Amino acid sequence: MKWKESHSWSALLFLAGTFLALAACLLGPDREFSPQENRSLEQRPVLSLEGVFSGIYMKDFEKYVSDQFPLRDFFVHAQAASQRWMGKQENNGVYFGKDGNLFQRFSGVERKEIESKAKAIASLAEHGSGAKVYLMLVPSAGAVLSEQLPPFVSFDAERQAVQDLANQTKETAVFVDPYAALEEHRQEEIYYRTDHHWTTLGAYYGWQELARRMQLSPQILENYIPKIVSDHFYGSLYSQSGYPFVEPDQIRLFHHREEKPITVSFSEGKKRRNTLYELENLEKKDQYTVFLGGNDSFLRVDTGSLAPRKLLILKDSFANCFVPFLTRDFKTIDLVDLRYYNEDISQRMKREGYTDILVLYSAKTFFEEKTPGKMAW
Amino acid sequence: MVFSSLLFLFLFLPTVFFFYFLSPKKWRNGILFLSSLIFYGWGEPVYIGIMLFSTFFDYGNGLLLEKWEKNPRKKRAVLLLSLVVNLGILGFFKYTGFFVQTINDLFSLTIRIHPLPLPLGISFYTFQTLSYTIDVYRGKVKAQHHLVNFGTYVAMFPQLVAGPIVRYADIAKEMTRRQETWVLFGQGVQQFLLGLGKKVLLANNVGLLWDTVKALPMDNMTVLSAWLGILAFTFQIYFDFSGYSDMAIGLGKMFGFHFMKNFDLPYTARSITEFWSRWHISLSTWFKEYVYIPLGGNKQGKWKQYRNIFIVWMLTGFWHGANWNFILWGLYYAFFLVLEKAFFRKKVERGPRWLGHGYTMLVVIVGWVLFEHEDLNRCLQFLGAMVGAKGTGLADSSGLYQLLNYGGILVFCGFCATSACTRLKERYFQEGSGVMQIFFLGLLALIFFFSTAYIVKDTYNPFLYFRF
Task: Please write the tens of the pLDDT for every residue from A194-239.
Answer: 999 999 999 999 999 999 999 999 889 999 999 999 999 999 999 9
Q: Are A247 and A210 in contact (CB under 8 A)?
A: no
Which chain B residues are Cβ-neighbours of A337 within 8 angstroms?
none
Query: How many Cβ atoms from other residues are within 10 Å of residue B174's Cβ?
Result: 16
Radius of gyration in angstroms for the set of CA atoms belonging to chain B, rounded to a whole number? 24
**Which residues, at least 6 apart from A272, have a Cβ–Cβ distance to it below 8 Å?**
A263, A264, A265, A266
- Does the pLDDT at position B464 exceed 90? no
Q: Calculate how close chain A gets to B84, using CA atoms only, in Å.
A: 29
Residues B33 and B30: their CA atoms lie apart, in Å, by 5
Which of B68, B63, B66 minimizes the C-alpha distance to B147? Answer: B63
Which residue in B has a C-alpha nearest to residue A340's C-alpha? B468
Q: What is the pLDDT of residue B465?
A: 62
Confidence of residue A249 (pLDDT cuts 50, 70, 90): very high
Q: Mean pLDDT throughout B293-316?
A: 91
- Does the pLDDT at position B430 exceed 90? no
At position A40, the amino acid (one-letter code) is S
Q: Calculate how close chain B gets to A62, using CA atoms only, in Å.
A: 6
Q: What is the pLDDT of residue B27?
A: 92
Query: How many Cβ atoms from other residues are within 10 Å of residue B9's Cβ?
Result: 23
Mean pLDDT (chain A) is 91
Confidence of residue B272 (pLDDT cuts 50, 70, 90): very high
CB atoms B17 and A294 under 8 Å: no
Which chain A residues are Cβ-neighbours of B189 within 8 angstroms?
7, 10-11, 14
Q: Are A158 and A139 in contact (CB under 8 A)?
A: yes
Q: Calculate how close chain B gets to A205, using CA atoms only, in Å.
A: 24
Q: With DSSP H G I counted as helix, E B as strand and the rest as coil, what are the percentages for chain A, rounded to 5?
A: 40, 20, 40
> Does B360 or B109 have the greater pLDDT score?
B360
pLDDT tens-place string over residues B99-108: 888 888 888 8
Q: What is the pLDDT of residue A99?
A: 87
Q: What is the pLDDT of residue B154?
A: 93
- Residue B286 DSSP SS3: helix
**Which residues, at least 6 apart from A97, have a Cβ–Cβ distance to it below 8 Å?**
A103, A142, A145, A148, A149, A150
Residues B113 and B100: their CA atoms lie apart, in Å, by 8
Bond prior to B164 in cis (omega within 30° of 0): yes
CB atoms B459 and A66 under 8 Å: yes
- Does the pLDDT at position A179 exceed 70? yes
Q: What is the pLDDT of residue A294?
A: 84
* Range name among A349-353, B3-7, B298-302, B350-354 with the lowest pLDDT average: B350-354
Half-sphere exposure of B350 (CA within 13 A, CB side): 4
**Which residues, at least 6 apart from A172, have a Cβ–Cβ distance to it below 8 Å?**
A118, A121, A122, A124, A125, A126, A133
Q: Mean pLDDT throughout B293-305?
A: 88
pLDDT tens-place string over residues A274-331: 889 999 999 988 999 999 988 888 999 998 888 899 999 999 999 999 999 999 999 9
Q: Are B119 and B51 in contact (CB under 8 A)?
A: yes
Does residue B146 carry a catalytic annotation?
no
Confidence of residue B435 (pLDDT cuts 50, 70, 90): confident
Half-sphere exposure of A172 (CA within 13 A, CB side): 20
Count of helix runs (H) and strand runs (E) in chain A? 12, 15
Q: What is the pLDDT of residue A37?
A: 85
Which chain B residues are Cβ-neighbours of A14 within 8 angstroms?
189, 192-193, 448
Q: Mean pLDDT throughout A6-28?
A: 89
**Which residues, at least 6 apart from B242, have a Cβ–Cβ distance to it below 8 Å?**
B195, B198, B262, B263
Which chain B residues are Cβ-neighbours of A10 within 8 angstroms?
186, 189-190, 193, 441, 444
Q: Are B185 and A11 in contact (CB under 8 A)?
A: yes
Residues A141 and B103: their CA atoms lie apart, in Å, by 54
Q: Mean pLDDT throughout B364-375?
A: 95
Q: Are B233 and B372 in contact (CB under 8 A)?
A: yes
Which of B30, B33, B27 minimizes the C-alpha distance to B48? Answer: B33
Residues B207 and A38: their CA atoms lie apart, in Å, by 28
Query: b or e along A281-315 (b: 16 or more beta carbons within 10 Å of the residue's beta carbon)?
Result: bbeebbbbbbbbbbbbbbbebbbebebebbbbbbb
CB atoms B404 and A152 under 8 Å: yes
Which residue in B has a C-alpha nearest to residue A108's C-alpha? B216
Which residues lie across from A298 on neighbouring strands? Answer: A336
Q: Mean pLDDT throughout A261-270?
A: 81
DSSP assigned state of A290: G
Which chain A residues are Cβ-neighbours of B247 within 8 angstroms?
none
DSSP assigned state of A375: G
- Does the pLDDT at position B467 exceed 80? no
Which residue in B has a C-alpha nearest to residue A1's C-alpha? B182
DSSP assigned state of B333: H
pLDDT tens-place string over residues A132-168: 999 999 999 999 999 999 999 999 999 999 999 999 9
Q: What is the pLDDT of residue B189?
A: 95
Nearest to A65 among B6, B398, B445 (CB): B6
Task: Kindly state the percentage of chain B with pLDDT values over 70.
Answer: 97
Residue B83 burial class via C-beta count within 10 angstroms: exposed 0-12, middle 13-18, buried 19 and up:
middle
Confidence of residue B11 (pLDDT cuts 50, 70, 90): very high
Residues A28 and A280: their CA atoms lie apart, in Å, by 30
Q: What is the pLDDT of residue A4?
A: 64
Q: What is the pLDDT of residue B349?
A: 67
- The CA–CA distances, whole Å, from B412 to B83, B285, B404, B405 equal 44, 30, 14, 13
**Which residues, at least 6 apart from B87, have a Cβ–Cβ distance to it below 8 Å?**
B126, B130
Residues A74 and A25: their CA atoms lie apart, in Å, by 15
Measure CA B75 to chain center: 32
Which residue in B has a C-alpha nearest to residue A239's C-alpha? B462
Q: What is the pLDDT of residue B468?
A: 37
CA dihedral A45, A46, A47, A50 (to 10 degrees): -100
Catalytic residue among B145, B258, B280, B320: B320
Q: Calculate how close chain A gets to B41, using CA atoms only, in Å.
A: 9
At position A238, the amino acid (one-letter code) is Y
Element of type H or E holding A98: none
DSSP string computed for A155-193: -HHHHHHHHHHHHHTTTTSEEE-THHHHHHTTTS--B-S
Q: Mean pLDDT throughout B182-208?
A: 94
φ/ψ (deg, to 5) at A149: -75, 160
